[in-house]
Structure 1
Amino acid sequence: MITAEHVSQAETDYLAQLEKAARRFDNRAAQREETLQTIESRGVLYADEPARVKKRLARLNADWSLAKAIEQIPTEPATTTGSTLPLSPEVFGADVLGLERLMGRNNLTGVAFLEGGYLAARSIGRVCVRSPEGGHYGTGFMVSPSLLMTNNHVLRSLEEASHAVVEFNFQAGVDGRPLDPVTFKIEPQNFFATDRDLDFTVVAVAERNQQGARLADFDWLPLDGAQGKAILGEFVNIIQHPNGEPKQLALRENQIVDLLDRFVHYATDTAPGSSGSPVFNDQWEVVALHHSAVPKTDADGRPLAVDGTPWRPGMGEHRLAWKANEGVRISRVLQALSRFTLTGNAARLRDELFQPPGTPPRGEGAPQTAAAARPGADGFGPAGSAPLPSATAVGLTVPLRITVGVDMPTPDRPGPDRTSGARSLPTVTSAAVLPRAERAAGSSAVADAAEQDLAAALLNLRLGETRAYYVREDDRAARDAYYADIDADSDGETLRRALTALLEETHGPRPSYKPARMLYPWVDLHPDRLLRSVYSGKTFTAEELIHADAAAEAARLRGLQEFLLREAAAGTDVIAAELDALEAALPFNCEHVVPQSWFAKREPMRGDLHHLFACEPECNSFRGNIPYTDFPGFDEAVREDCGMREKTGFEPEHSRGAVARATLYFLLRYPGAVGDGTTEFPADRLPILVQWHENEPVSEYELHRNAAIAAIQGNRNPLIDHPEWARSIDFSRVWP
């Protein structure tokens, strides 16, 4: 414990934070060591939970297939771009460089990184406290046009905050000379919210200082609630005023090594962060609030100084011997702020903090809630950990996501998708949440995001051109390792259960439904590098379908924006119906062999690549959601190029073996998910699938598909790898 001496309350509180941080760090030694070993042996993409990695890649406008392609390419940077990828300068972009940087393949970055850091630094100031019991310093940063965030142990109370100021521009200029600091008075009487356990304080700052300078000129750092800002193994940046000194930057010196429920640990061998500093990713998004070093301690648990003696507060933080840094997860700060009971002007100021950049402040008559924040959804943890503020809180994410939260119980028919107990509309990708008044301004953002998706898909296509289509020896080795613990001689039900468990356990990254990104550029290509409609056999180039789907997606989004502008008060059911209508009118060139309506368009089923195939909309529409069947003759069935159909069944013209194996995979991977509806696949048609499977052997095309999907989402199709198991597996209990 700390030896008794005369120290200020702020120093006492900081000592308490040091001790708690040390205990948390020591208690997680085993988990942290496992994480570091994974980073060292496999890389940053494998250290964190697959869902978080997927969200991080999506935020970088990348996906798992691109990340895998980078992994498989030698690390020597190209002379023309600095990238490790064999790309010409005209197709090389910042998104690729950012992904290589994340994966530790390249330390280069675009010069825009410097400008972003400069702009972020303007909103960060030195907090100076002059109280009757003594003075101290900390770092703080603006999080709205009016509010500043720092630590609780920097500003512990309204009384202490009333004696504090924040100084911006306390730093050296480009010529090395000190700039003139611009000081603003802190005004806790207008807003003050603090939490000792999470060690944060949010407080109002004067709009102008005594010299007439405007606070608005220093901008603010939005606390974005979107997921995917950082993962384990990633490096973060800290802008700070260490020990009250001029503003300094710790650039990519701290690596995230552990994630706790409320805190994040990041290790460095240089210096601890400064209390109250923002912790940034490489895109200059705030991912945590720095609040404590993790000190080295002696046998009695006392923090040590750099010379090995017990550390005392009077020595200053710079004399503390440390082994890591600890920050508070921004999602937990947002959660806590959303739960404060506030009224009047304080509620309005709190709401400004939750609004995205560019949004005008709400009027006095606007609803005073924190609905836009979606607390609980930072770059580390799952969304939805805080209750939604209203029963029908609708958030339009422009350009490519609609997220609808409904305060209601889980649907009566639970499926194997355990990712959410709430009902949500289909999602595509995300950007900043915009309020209703801003929806009309999103058309250019829609176009930009559509262009980014198109560029990413075409980049995946170009990378695939240099890859071997299928390497049989490598795939056989991967197959044997995958099923090493499966006892093929066990009884049928035991074998089925073992395969179901394996498929779920290894289904790591779970891509959302975006066929243009992964299906067309690589997964569904035939040996001639063309796509073939799964039912009609018609051929297409991958680029043809990529462009067609990009146009369809852009048209959907424009239609949805127009609808939301017309129907500002539309409820969730009405919006869902409009989305369904738009998807029906503007379909993708992709077929779910297990129709989406059978599993209510839920993920991960919707994006599971094993049952997605290229298919022109005409054949997709002709099949509809009719289950497969086998026609003994052709007289009673309607026949087209796609196949034969009547009310009770559909038989494809082509690829019967492939669709049978994909459907059997789905039944194994998601038992109980389909088959309880009158039009869903009935159990008595199982022999038809098995017969199609045996009549059409596995082709090189399917072997390629299986290997490509395994590289992206982790699991494999047992019916492709071991066709002989079709008669051994007992499928009788996969139906509800």
Structure 2
Amino acid sequence: MTTVENVSQTGADYLYQLERAGARFQERTAQREETCRTIDRRGVLYADDPDRVTKRLARLNADWSLARSVERMETVPRTTTGSTLPLGPNAFGADVLGLERLMGRNDLTGVAFLEGGHLASRPIGRIALKVPGGVRHGTGFMVSPSLLMTNNHVLRTADEAARAVIEFNFQAGLDGRPLNPAVFPLEPQKFFATDRDLDFTVVAVAGRNQANEELAEFHWLPLDGAEGKAVLGEFVNIIQHPNGEPKQLALRENQIVDVLDRFLHYVTDTAPGSSGSPVFNDQWEVVALHHSAVPKTDGEGRLLAVDGSLWQPGMGEHRLAWKANEGVRISSVLRTLSRLTLTGTAARLRDELFRAPGTPQTAPGIPAGPTDTVSVVEDAARRDLDAALLNLRLGEELVYYDAPADAAARDAYYAGVDAGADGEELRRTLTELLEETHERRPSYKPSRMVYPWVDLHPDRQLRSVYSGKTFGAEEFIRADTAAETARLRGLQEFLLRESSVGPAELAAELDALEASLPFNCEHVVPQSWFHEREPMRGDLHHLFACEVACNSFRSNIPYMDFPQFDEVHREDCGLREDNGFEPEHHRGAVARATLYFLLRYPKQVGDTKELTRDRLPSLLAWHEREPVTEYELHRNAAIAEIQGNRNPFIDHPEWAAAVDFSEVWA
């Protein structure tokens, strides 16, 4: 028998879990109250860490650009789609509705939500454990083809698990009559792992029962340890067997109010969750293992029952007076399981659990057939394209540039800046402000973040930053999506072709693919100067639409102001020599973007091959000669809404001459 046990020496039952949950809830009172105020005042998108929210949006195939557009739309549902967005039926999809539900703008959902919930409920069953004098119940759910998860306080030991069974279909059918439960014994001799502090137990289940039913008929719920499955303010769903009763659903009744390193707190006005139940987001992904209520206590800290008397464990969970729920984050459970030292059958079964998240799913809990690499790549590209075109369509409904609103936002942003300070102090102040307010840091996705809204000119067209040629935004969106699809296919082929690939070989292949399949987007501070690191790579303030030919023509050559002479290599994009490039158009815009970069990321550029300090006078001259345009004002306001920070040289052009740049060079 293989048994792994990692237990605390303090406490051994549900009372211990109640006391610890209550202590954690009490310790976090100030943070939780501030979170609730933020949710009420600003909404779900602003209550959690911006990086976590960005990851949550990405799982919904959304981004900050789309989210900000949605926020500014009217909230009256459309009769044709149920969405609050100005979209026709052909543009409406689950991604849009999922985003609106996350933001609390729309309680409608597609019928697929119910179908997904039905499928997600199949792997959930009632645990029955024989104990002296009767049977103790809890909830459990399959997390791989062979493994069941529940709480440690439901199944504390391998001996207890050997006396327990899992009962699937313990519920009413469509006609209201009870279904015949499918009962499977547990097999702790094959796998048993438990952790009392995290209050989880994972145990093997027999593949076939005495009625010759197969466990595989009930499928399993894949677990994913990645962030982004749920954020503060989001509502979650619990499927459970409360007090051993038939299977029931708490649908969007619990709102997440706190995220700890290892636990989630979620509150509701209805009944508490049942021990061992999975906690789901609206996409039926498991975000937590429910394990405890946060109890109400009297003045002496004693637990109270619902009738006001002192609660005792023998009364059952359903008699506990409570004020919140606590769940164990699935990422914490997976991290602990991954650290166990296992061999033989136990190691193989544990490995099956960790393969689960990457297995394609036709629906929650149902493994699909063999992976079709090409179809997966094309599906990802299609989703990116649809999201980018949705951003573009929503932009058509927005005011291009709201000058009064932007002026108010600008004044508030720089309220703490002393414009009369000396040059070095002003630079430090602005650098600190730009970093502090750079709250949201989107990854490099020009087709979704640059072309649909940020880089549009007043005629709602794109202009190539160096040549000034006009392009439709959809043209660039489709071209970049095609390039990204080709890159992914090339990368897949490379990985299939090469039996052993190290980090250096993979990086070289990625560089080669990017060079052969470039985007129509220009980093005015070339990526090679900062080794393609984020957040520099995705910082929208220095990203501009630029056709591939001009992008290649400039390469990573630094800017300089040319005297006019015949030997200079001239194209529509501008003038170039080996040591300098001067754009034909938008010199003022690229100068201000570069100056922003120097402020935001001091010491990142400036060696002998990059933007040395002797190029600064050219940038300042371009800035002076070409004043800020409405296009740049729009860009600055749009980027501020997405990232949180602004370009000071667009808002206050006079500061360019006042700032001391001497300490920004590497």
Q: TM-score w.r.t. structure 1 length?
A: 0.87
3-state DSSP class of the match of 2:207? coil
Q: Which residue of 2 aligns with 1:734?
A: 664
3-state DSSP class of the match of 2:556? coil
Judge conservation of contact 2:152–2:201 (CA < 8 Å) in 1.
Answer: yes
* Alpha-carbon distance in structure 1 between the residues aligned to 2:150 and 2:48: 28
Q: Which residue of 2 aligns with 1:466?
A: 397
Q: Which residue of 2 aligns with 1:715?
A: 645
Question: Pick from 661, 668, 671: which aligns with 2:602?
Answer: 671
Unaligned segments of structure 1, at least 5 residues: 1-8, 361-397, 399-431
What are the equivalent positions in structure 2 for 1:493-642 lying under 5 Å apart? Answer: 493-642=424-573
* Alpha-carbon distance in structure 2 between the residues aligned to 1:499 and 1:456: 34
Give 1:654 shift: 0.8
3-state DSSP class of the match of 1:239? strand
> Could you say if the C-alpha distance between residues 85 and 21 of structure 1 is closer, same or farther in structure 2, counting changes exceeding 3 Å?
same
| Structure 1 position 688 matched with structure 2 position 618 | yes
> Could you say if the C-alpha distance between residues 155 and 133 of structure 1 is closer, same or farther in structure 2, counting changes exceeding 3 Å?
farther
Give the AA of the match of 2:350.
Answer: R
| Structure 1 position 476 matched with structure 2 position 416 | no
3-state DSSP class of the match of 1:521? coil
Runs in 1 of length 4+ with deviation above 4 angstroms? 9-12, 357-360
Q: Which residue of 2 aligns with 1:421?
A: none
Give 1:441 shift: 2.2
* Alpha-carbon distance in structure 1 between the residues aligned to 2:359 and 2:38: 41
Q: Which residue of 2 aligns with 1:5?
A: none
Give 1:225 shift: 2.5
Give the AA of the match of 1:276.
Answer: G
Give the AA of the match of 2:538.
Answer: G
Q: Which residue of 1 aligns with 2:271?
A: 271
> Could you say if the C-alpha distance between residues 695 and 10 of structure 1 is closer, same or farther in structure 2, counting changes exceeding 3 Å?
closer
* Alpha-carbon distance in structure 1 between the residues aligned to 2:534 and 2:383: 23
Give 1:37 shift: 0.2
Q: Deviations over 1:594-618 (max 9, x none)?
A: 0001111111111110000000111
Give 1:636 shift: 2.9
Judge conservation of contact 1:454–1:547 (CA < 8 Å) in 2.
Answer: yes
Give 1:131 shift: 3.4
Cα RMSD for the two superposed structures: 1.8
Q: Which residue of 2 aligns with 1:254?
A: 254
* Alpha-carbon distance in structure 2 between the residues aligned to 1:189 and 1:132: 23
Q: Which residue of 1 aligns with 2:583?
A: 652
> Could you say if the C-alpha distance between residues 278 and 539 of structure 1 is closer, same or farther in structure 2, counting changes exceeding 3 Å?
same
Judge conservation of contact 2:60–2:95 (CA < 8 Å) in 1.
Answer: yes
Give 1:687 shift: 1.3
Give 1:634 shift: 2.6
Judge conservation of contact 1:229–1:281 (CA < 8 Å) in 2.
Answer: yes
Give 1:568 shift: 2.8
What are the equivalent positions in structure 2 for 1:87-102 lying under 5 Å apart? Answer: 87-102=87-102
Q: Deviations over 1:681-717 (max 9, x none)?
A: 1012111111111110000000000001011111100
* Alpha-carbon distance in structure 2 between the residues aligned to 1:464 and 1:358: 35
* Alpha-carbon distance in structure 2 between the residues aligned to 1:687 and 1:63: 37
Q: Which residue of 1 aligns with 2:218?
A: 218
* Alpha-carbon distance in structure 2 between the residues aligned to 1:240 and 1:103: 26
> Could you say if the C-alpha distance between residues 358 and 231 of structure 1 is closer, same or farther in structure 2, counting changes exceeding 3 Å?
closer
Judge conservation of contact 1:10–1:156 (CA < 8 Å) in 2.
Answer: no
* Alpha-carbon distance in structure 1 between the residues aligned to 2:466 and 2:357: 47
Unaligned segments of structure 2, at least 5 residues: 1-8
* Alpha-carbon distance in structure 2 between the residues aligned to 1:613 and 1:204: 55
Q: Which residue of 2 aligns with 1:389?
A: none
Q: How many residues align?
A: 653
Judge conservation of contact 1:11–1:313 (CA < 8 Å) in 2.
Answer: no
Judge conservation of contact 1:273–1:325 (CA < 8 Å) in 2.
Answer: yes
Give 1:134 shift: 5.5
> Could you say if the C-alpha distance between residues 227 and 11 of structure 1 is closer, same or farther in structure 2, counting changes exceeding 3 Å?
closer
Give 1:358 shift: 7.6
3-state DSSP class of the match of 2:52? helix
* Alpha-carbon distance in structure 2 between the residues aligned to 1:249 and 1:666: 51
* Alpha-carbon distance in structure 2 between the residues aligned to 1:84 and 1:583: 38
* Alpha-carbon distance in structure 2 between the residues aligned to 1:643 and 1:160: 77
* Alpha-carbon distance in structure 1 between the residues aligned to 2:237 and 2:536: 37
* Alpha-carbon distance in structure 2 between the residues aligned to 1:188 and 1:675: 62
> Could you say if the C-alpha distance between residues 120 and 11 of structure 1 is closer, same or farther in structure 2, counting changes exceeding 3 Å?
farther
Give 1:228 shift: 1.1
* Alpha-carbon distance in structure 2 between the residues aligned to 1:157 and 1:51: 39
Q: Which residue of 2 aligns with 1:201?
A: 201
* Alpha-carbon distance in structure 1 between the residues aligned to 2:424 and 2:343: 60
> Could you say if the C-alpha distance between residues 281 and 10 of structure 1 is closer, same or farther in structure 2, counting changes exceeding 3 Å?
farther
Q: Deviations over 1:507-538 (max 9, x none)?
A: 11111111111211111011111100000111
* Alpha-carbon distance in structure 1 between the residues aligned to 2:565 and 2:406: 40
> Could you say if the C-alpha distance between residues 717 and 483 of structure 1 is closer, same or farther in structure 2, counting changes exceeding 3 Å?
same
3-state DSSP class of the match of 1:516? helix
| Structure 1 position 52 matched with structure 2 position 52 | yes
* Alpha-carbon distance in structure 2 between the residues aligned to 1:274 and 1:722: 58
Q: Which residue of 2 aligns with 1:322?
A: 322
* Alpha-carbon distance in structure 2 between the residues aligned to 1:344 and 1:306: 48
* Alpha-carbon distance in structure 2 between the residues aligned to 1:119 and 1:494: 60
Q: Deviations over 1:29-49 (max 9, x none)?
A: 100000000000000000001
Judge conservation of contact 2:224–2:331 (CA < 8 Å) in 1.
Answer: no
Q: Which residue of 2 aligns with 1:310?
A: 310
Give 1:633 shift: 2.1
Q: Which residue of 1 aligns with 2:160?
A: 160
* Alpha-carbon distance in structure 1 between the residues aligned to 2:357 and 2:659: 55
Judge conservation of contact 1:120–1:284 (CA < 8 Å) in 2.
Answer: yes
Give the AA of the match of 1:662.
Answer: A
Give 1:99 shift: 0.4
* Alpha-carbon distance in structure 1 between the residues aligned to 2:606 and 2:152: 55
Q: Which residue of 2 aligns with 1:368?
A: none
Q: Deviations over 1:450-491 (max 9, x none)?
A: 111111111111111111111111111110000001111111
* Alpha-carbon distance in structure 2 between the residues aligned to 1:599 and 1:11: 52
* Alpha-carbon distance in structure 1 between the residues aligned to 2:349 and 2:433: 50
Q: Which residue of 2 aligns with 1:105?
A: 105
Q: Which residue of 2 aligns with 1:403?
A: none
3-state DSSP class of the match of 2:126? strand
3-state DSSP class of the match of 2:13? helix
Judge conservation of contact 1:536–1:653 (CA < 8 Å) in 2.
Answer: yes
Point out the more displaced range, 220-229 or 95-104.
Answer: 220-229
Q: Deviations over 1:130-176 (max 9, x none)?
A: 13476311110000000000001111111111111100000001111
Q: TM-score w.r.t. structure 2 length?
A: 0.96
Judge conservation of contact 2:223–2:357 (CA < 8 Å) in 1.
Answer: no
* Alpha-carbon distance in structure 1 between the residues aligned to 2:326 and 2:605: 46
* Alpha-carbon distance in structure 1 between the residues aligned to 2:501 and 2:527: 24
> Could you say if the C-alpha distance between residues 589 and 358 of structure 1 is closer, same or farther in structure 2, counting changes exceeding 3 Å?
closer
Q: Which residue of 1 aligns with 2:4?
A: none
Give the AA of the match of 1:441.
Answer: D
What are the equivalent positions in structure 2 for 1:407-426 lying under 5 Å apart? Answer: none
* Alpha-carbon distance in structure 2 between the residues aligned to 1:33 and 1:673: 40
Q: Which residue of 1 aligns with 2:6?
A: none
Q: Deviations over 1:647-675 (max 9, x none)?
A: 11111111110000000101111111122
* Alpha-carbon distance in structure 1 between the residues aligned to 2:290 and 2:547: 52
Q: Deviations over 1:553-597 (max 9, x none)?
A: 111111111111111312121111111111111110000000001
Judge conservation of contact 2:288–2:330 (CA < 8 Å) in 1.
Answer: yes
Judge conservation of contact 1:458–1:543 (CA < 8 Å) in 2.
Answer: yes
Give 1:314 shift: 2.1
Q: Which residue of 1 aligns with 2:138?
A: 138
Q: Which residue of 1 aligns with 2:124?
A: 124
Q: Which residue of 1 aligns with 2:593?
A: 662
Give the AA of the match of 1:665.
Answer: Y
Q: Deviations over 1:85-134 (max 9, x none)?
A: 11111111111011000000000000000010000100001111113476
Give the AA of the match of 1:58.
Answer: A
Judge conservation of contact 2:267–2:324 (CA < 8 Å) in 1.
Answer: yes
